[in-house]
Chain A
Amino acid sequence: MPERKRAQRADDMADGANGPDTTKDGPAIRLGHLYPDQLNMYGDRGNIITLRRRCEWRGIALHVTPLDCGEPLDPAAFDLLFIGGGQDKEQSEVARDLRKVKGAALHSAVADGMPLLAVCGGYQLLAHGYRPAEGPELPGAGIFDAMTIHFGKRVARCIGNIALDIASPVVGASGGRSAAGESSASSAGEHLDLGVRTLVGFENHGGRTYLGPDVRPLGRVLAGHGNNSEDGFEGAVYRHAFGTYLHGSLLPKNPHFADHLVRLALERRYGAEEATRLITLLDDTEEWRAHNAMLARLGVLSASSTTRQPAVRS
């Protein structure tokens, strides 16, 4: 019973105005929200609200369970994981818990194809580590083959609106390392094919992230800084785990990416065929309007060229 109560708390947390769960016996996705009390900066809540609504509009329930410090992670209990960003003080608390409590289970879950979204601080924490300008290195969970370095206060933070191309080839993206290493771990030469090839958001990070050979970047930076403001790439992908600096919130204005996560979660639970049946088309007029308005403002791509598969209007 405490499980149910905690899930209810999480539901309240994600979206207070929600009615009772009306799809108890229908399809459902079980979302594990890692460290919601510590990592909730920069509109992370918007990602949960978006997943919830886009599921509900399709008759799919979204059960959100907060996974706090000290609690073990049971990968079998979830179809999707989310971790957001937080303040420095909170992040060290989380790093400790990842190391001592949840790290191993998280590793095996991702290796087993568990879909996961890690934003900003969460992205940094799930990589090898964070090296501050001074003081000891903060070790991470090592899910992403990447390392974040902070070069001190004299180096400007990466702040501003950002747009990515997620459908361009990524060879040579791993900080100059050979692409050969990529094929071993991540799906070789693959890029996301989500119909629309752009992602938009807002980034705000002091650390610079450098990718190793075992991950590929999420996308190429069309406008903004990205991982390190040097190599022109943003984020990291390893199997079905996605790390990114994009908030804004990320998912509301990128419905194709939100649906990709929903699909992966459904596939994991119900298989590909059932997932395809459940992912019905939605009217995303408002989503694309906000998405395209940001693309137009950044002047990176004309709005029309970005949509191979235009939004369905019902």
Chain B
Amino acid sequence: MSAHQPQTGDTTGTDTEQAAAGRATAEPAGSVSGSTPTVARAALAVVAGRAAGALSRRLHRGGGTSLPGLVAQRIYPDVIAHLAAQLRHGAVVITGTNGKTTTSGMTAGALRAAGRRVWRNREGANLLRGIAAALIIRAQPSGRLRWDGDAAAVFEVDEAAFPAVVAVVRPRVVAVTNLFRDQLDRYGEVDTVAERWHTTLRDLPATTTLVLNADDPAVAALAEGFAGHVLYYGVENTAQDGGADSADGAGEVVDTRTCPRCGGVLAFAPRFYSHIGHWSCPDCGEARPAPAVAAREVRLERLERACFTLVTPEGDARPITISLPGLYNVYNALAAATIGQAMGAGVEAIVESLSHFSAAFGRAERIAAGDRTVQLLLAKNPTGLNEVLRALAAVPGPLHLLLALNDRAADGEDVSWIWDAEVERAAGFAAQVTVSGTRAFDLALRLKYAGIAPARVESDPAAALEAALVATPPGETLYVVPTYTAMLAVRAELERRGHTPHYWEQRDAGA
């Protein structure tokens, strides 16, 4: 199905890209052309990359978010290592199945509140070339970073590209959010991904700080054999059963069932969702590590906000309200707070920035569409969809929904996962459902077996959005639950209608 081209300038993974990533790490500096001095080569790479990006933007070819990186890497494969080494405050690399974009947005916010200049890679440009692009657009024709490198970089990185990126960026902090089944056709099975990450982390120097989710057993186990400092984060307890009722999630697929050390069947008390919770192994005694940064008394308030008490290693206990739904966003906030700690941002800056954080691109993002509101809730794997549906269930209904399932390369071509998600939950709150995407018929069928009759099935996302908005009464909200490229398509249609700015113009462009 390689004929399906993703709609942005960057896919989140193609074979050629992975091959390019492999080449970049395999070749030592200067090996491409021994006669060209390194600095001149880096300068040439920067100039060519920036020119390509500018041209692409002028031609409106998807914003050119990672083209500069692609071009520069061709000219000088070590361009990332060359530029990353100039970052005076180092780089943060964030990976994991869910929560990368939101966590990196929150992290950037915390570091900025602490007075740092922060450079990020573009949303979705999370492969090696996206990282290269992020550095190149901040470099001068001399091959030196602007501001003499007086900045910190925050990079969200694709799970499969993570080893190659870490090898060249040499990050100061590495954070892993969680590990769920996702795009099995591309990433492989959960155990395979965990093993790849583990090998990567073991090779890092002791100067690296590792930030891990204590409540995910597969992620917590990554600390084993790691040479540097480890900071865990986790949720201590919730003040209500709304987001953490274990009976409610009895049907959920659990991706990490057994002890990472001995293979025994894990016990959870409590289990918040999927395999996230307070885990322990009855066989060998391995258990959830005590988190350094924790959330206590989590209260979820519909789709609008989550409130909790943030506990830091210094013993601070600070009440925080974030304007994002669901327990999964509390985990994202905890990850950002912990990274902020590791990067030296004070608790004031962290609390201040988290309290003012607004939704990342397509992640619970609210967009005014005339006299209706559209809320985008990206869902690209079973756990992600379960958590979105759980959050929607807390909104007083019935709700108007647009669900969109694409099977392009960046979504994963295997749509079996919709059968692993608790779509049945939507039967309780769906008023009218529009189904869209390249696999609209599969999604319609999934809904049928969940006891929901879609009001309309329309493969084309633009037409589906139009129909769903017409069917949503003025003053009300249309909740859009799309996969990744479906989200881009819906957002592009909203842009076309003048409801939202182009995303590549939106974020820290001049920083």
Contact = CB atoms under 8 A, between A and B. Distances in A.
A113 interface: no
Contacts of B415: 202, 248
Contacts, number: 105
Interface stretch (B103-111, B184-192, B394-402): B184-192
A286 B441 contact: yes
B427 A17 contact: yes
A42 B425 contact: no
A10 B445 CA distance: 22
Given A17-B450, A202-B413, A286-B448, A249 B441 contact: no
A287 B446 CA distance: 10
Contacts of A293: 441
Contacts of A88: 189, 191
Interface string B424-451: 1101100000000000011011101111
Nearest to B440: A293
B253 interface: yes
Nearest to B452: A17
Interface in A1-49: 9, 12-18, 37-38, 40-46, 49
A14 B251 contact: yes
A128 interface: no
Given A37-B257, A159-B185, A290-B444, A53 B449 contact: yes
A16 B250 contact: yes
Contact of A43 (B257, B417, B428): B417
Contact of A89 (B258, B414, B425): B258
B424 A286 contact: no
B189 A13 contact: no
Contacts of B253: 40, 45
Contacts of B450: 17
B250 A13 contact: yes
B449 A49 contact: yes
A289 interface: yes
Contacts of B190: 87
Given A87-B190, A204-B184, A290-B441, A252 B449 contact: yes
Contacts of B263: 89, 93
A41 B189 CA distance: 9
Nearest to B424: A17
Nearest to B265: A37
Contacts of A93: 263
Contacts of B444: 286, 289-290
A53 B318 CA distance: 49
A290 B419 contact: no
Contact of A16 (B417, B419, B425, B446): B425
B1 interface: yes
A40 B265 CA distance: 15
A247 interface: yes
A174 interface: no
Most chain A C-beta atoms within 10 Å of own C-beta, residue among B253, B428, B445: B445
A209 interface: no
Given A12-B251, A286-B448, A46 B416 contact: yes
B181 interface: yes
A227 interface: no
B413 A161 contact: yes
A220 interface: no
Contact of B185 (A9, A13, A204, A253): A204
B29 interface: no
Interface of A: 9, 12-18, 37-38, 40-46, 49-50, 53, 87-90, 93, 159-161, 202, 204, 247-249, 252-253, 286-287, 289-290, 293
